Chain A
């Protein structure tokens, strides 16, 4: 049948065109089918988080599955966010403290250090920069224990200091990223300011920073995402539950109330909701950030 069809098609340009069109439509259809099916696989678990958070407890585990809770328990959120087992406002405040201080710290320090690497000439700069690059892939595990011992010795364990203070000394990847952005700024722009007598702080603040704002936002967004979700750091460094950030509070909530899955899901959603809201506001910087981290190795 196929060989029968093939020869007339070659001779008939209109038929060839039509077959190409059909093939393209079929291909597109297949692409959309696979994409939509996969998207469903990614979205449904998330939907289930929302659905479960709105169920009465006895509807969480049922056979057959219940897709629409009846009644819809909005009160789960009130209960989850006000229960003494999950002190949401306190946890949120701690998370915000951790997020805001480290973001400010890493932005300030990384910008200043990157400026030195990008715009100033001094002996040993290039070696130092090479060392900086080589530390980017260093797994945190090799520095973990002595760093902990150091903070213990300083009496900082049991507080946010070990989590926050290092941010004010720069991070290799952020420095690298900002330096790459800064090297693209034309020298004429800063030279003119030099001649006018501006010092490096003024140039950095007035000329360089406004030009690299997108890179700063990428770094801010990434730091927010990292610290918001950080579990290991708070787990080893923080002391009592008054200091816990949201993820730690969620973990503690789970160990106490392992049965109330609907409230646990409501608390889980509340924990990631601010980050998701930020994603929808600043999606561009999330995507750019991932792209930049991905291309740095190329």
Chain B
């Protein structure tokens, strides 16, 4: 009797509780996401739309933007030789720094994954440079890469290599910048790869071993396919990051000169000058739009290509 009464009270109680709880969840839900909703609208959606619109205007912030059609793009592609210089410099930088950083990070991770002792020491050694702010590391490398009396050139001289001008030469300033990026960035790439390597199920490696695969075959047919998603991720993030390289080029190029013969004039540096020195916000927005579209195309292309070279475990289960 008492049993059934509690049962009925629960029956009548439950729907009421659910209803209030649902209403409460809805209200608190909207309340809790409100800050982010504002951020999405004010700091992401509005700026994206406005940036697109500014691209087709002349806008110096003193007067409202004036619509000028494709003039900014015409100037950019046909009348601004420094624009193409910045594209060339950025492409050069990205083309070498991204794959090299992935290769070095991967090789170091593979070596550290060989059950080595003192893994903590090596990991710290590779990661430490990543903690040095770009301004400080660039200043340090300006000392290291001094053409006459820097540590690097005096060491290279022992091997008979002489006369590399590094940051003082138009031909070597970008390799110098890439070197700095590799010093500062390979460590975190390595940690990402190391985590991915640790995720590889030991059973797969053992199965391959039983099937008679040698170390090289196990590496090439088991390890590498299983970390291709991580390679893809690092590739995409590396491209996005390297296209926007700024601080090292800004400091090494000593602000106004952008390196010998504008060899360190990176895309972001060119954009920075138009936006925050000349306050030509329309032109700078147009530059931002082009960079964004290129990044979207590259990312989509890489994602599309992934079906040919990236291994997803879930595919096997279908």
Is there contact, CB below 8 Å, between A31 and B132? no
B residues within 8 A CB of A250?
133, 135-136, 139
Task: Assess the B35–A38 pair: CB atoms within 8 A.
Answer: no
* CB < 8 Å A-B pair total: 268
Q: Give the contacts of B248-298 with A (CB-CB under 8 A).
A: 250-251, 254-255, 268, 271-272, 275-276, 281, 284-285, 288-289, 291-292, 295
Judge if A35 is at the interface, Cβ distance under 8 Å.
yes
* Cβ distance A208 to chain B, nearest Cβ, rounded Å: 12
Interface 1/0 per residue, B133-175 and A, CB below 8 Å: 1111001110110101111001000000000000000000000
**Is the beta-carbon distance between A297 and B32 smaller than 8 angstroms?**
no
Known: A175-B36, A294-B192. A43 touches B125 (CB 8 A): yes
Identify which of residues 239-298 in chain A touch chain B, using a CB-to-CB cut-off of 8 Å.
246-248, 250-251, 254-255, 261, 264-265, 268-269, 271-272, 275-276, 279, 283, 286-287, 290-291, 293-298
Q: Are A49 and B140 in contact (CB under 8 A)?
A: yes
B35–A168 CB distance below 8 A:
yes
List, in ascending order, chain B residues with CB within 8 A of A115's CB. 32
A205 within 8 A of B: no
**CB atoms of A113 and B196 under 8 A apart:** no
The bracket for how many chain A residues form the interface is: 35 or more
Residue A5 interfacial (CB < 8 Å): no
Across-interface contacts of B112 in A (CB, < 8 A): 35
Point out the residues of chain B lying under 8 angstroms from A131, CB to CB.
40
Q: Please name all residues of chain A whose beta carbon is closer than 8 Å to the beta carbon of B39 when the two chains form the complex.
A: 166, 169-170
Given the known A-B contacts A142-B47, A265-B139, A287-B123, are A120 and B108 also in contact in the complex, defined by CB atoms under 8 Å? no
B230 at the interface (CB under 8 A from A): yes
Tell me if A150 counts as interface (CB < 8 A to partner B).
yes
- The B interface, classified by DSSP as helix, strand, loop or mixed, is helix
Q: Does B79 contact A (CB under 8 A)?
A: no
Q: Within the complex, which residue of A35, A49, A265, A294 is in contact with B195, where a contact is CB–CB below 8 Å?
A: A294
Say if the beta carbon of A39 comes within 8 Å of chain B.
yes
Please tell me which stretch of A10-18, A62-70, A85-93, A209-217 contacts chain B, meaning at least 4 of its Cβ atoms lie within 8 angstroms of it.
A62-70
**How far is the CB of B227 from the nearest CB of chain A, in Å?**
9
A166-B43, A265-B140, A271-B133 known; A43 and B191 CB under 8 Å? Answer: no
Is A26 an interface position by the 8 A CB rule?
no
A232-B112 Cα distance, complex, nearest whole Å:
34
Alpha-carbon distance A64/B157, docked complex (angstroms): 11
Contact B230–A135 (Cβ < 8 Å): no
Q: Flag whether A138 is at the interface (Cβ < 8 A).
A: yes
Contact with B along A138-170 (1 / 0, CB 8 A): 111111111111101000000000000010111
Does B124 contact A283, Cβ atoms closer than 8 Å?
A: yes
CB neighbours (8 Å) of A142 from chain B are 47-48, 51, 288-289, 292
Q: How far is the CB of B141 from chain A (nearest CB, A)?
A: 7
Contact B251 A113 (CB under 8 A): no
When distances are taken between beta carbons in the complex, the residues of chain B under 8 Å from A225 are 131
Q: Across the interface, do A61 and B116 meet the contact criterion of CB distance under 8 Å? A: no
The residues of B that contact A170 with a CB separation of less than 8 Å are: 35-36, 39
CB-contacts of B221-237 with A (<8 A) = 229-230, 232-234, 236-237
Contact B28 A200, beta carbon cutoff 8 Å: yes
On whether A45 and B144 interact (CB within 8 A), knowing A35-B116, A132-B40, A231-B134, the answer reads: yes
> When the two chains form their complex, are residues A113 and B32 in contact, meaning their CB atoms are under 8 A apart?
yes
Most chain B C-beta atoms within 10 Å of own C-beta, residue among A225, A247, A265, A268: A268
Name the residue of chain B whose CB is nearest to the CB of A270. Answer: B136
Most chain A CB atoms below 10 A, which of B187, B250, B275, B288: B288
| B191 and A287 within 8 A (CB) | yes
Are the C-beta atoms of B146 and A268 separated by less than 8 Å? Answer: no
Cα separation A34 to B107 with both chains bound (whole Å):
10
Residue of B nearest to A128 (CB): B33
Distance of A215 Cα from B70 Cα, bound (Å): 47
Q: Which residue of A lies closest to B124 (CB)?
A: A283
Tell me which residues across on chain A come within 8 A of B126, comparing CB atoms. Answer: 38-39, 42
Measuring CB to CB, which residues of chain A are less than 8 angstroms from any residue of chain B? Answer: 27-28, 31-32, 34-35, 38-39, 42-46, 48-49, 52, 60-65, 109, 112-113, 115-117, 120-123, 125, 128, 131-132, 135, 137-150, 152, 166, 168-170, 175, 194, 199-200, 225, 228-229, 231-232, 235-236, 246-248, 250-251, 254-255, 261, 264-265, 268-269, 271-272, 275-276, 279, 283, 286-287, 290-291, 293-298
Task: List 20 other contacts, CB 8 Å, given A52-B143, A128-B33, A150-B46.
Answer: A27-B114, A35-B108, A42-B186, A46-B128, A46-B129, A109-B36, A116-B30, A120-B29, A121-B22, A141-B244, A142-B289, A143-B48, A152-B61, A169-B36, A247-B133, A268-B136, A279-B131, A290-B195, A291-B192, A297-B230
27 CB contacts below 8 A, A to B, read A32-B116, A39-B121, A42-B129, A43-B125, A45-B141, A45-B151, A46-B129, A48-B151, A49-B132, A61-B150, A112-B35, A116-B30, A120-B25, A121-B22, A121-B25, A139-B295, A141-B244, A141-B268, A145-B275, A149-B61, A150-B42, A236-B272, A248-B135, A265-B140, A271-B133, A286-B127, A290-B195
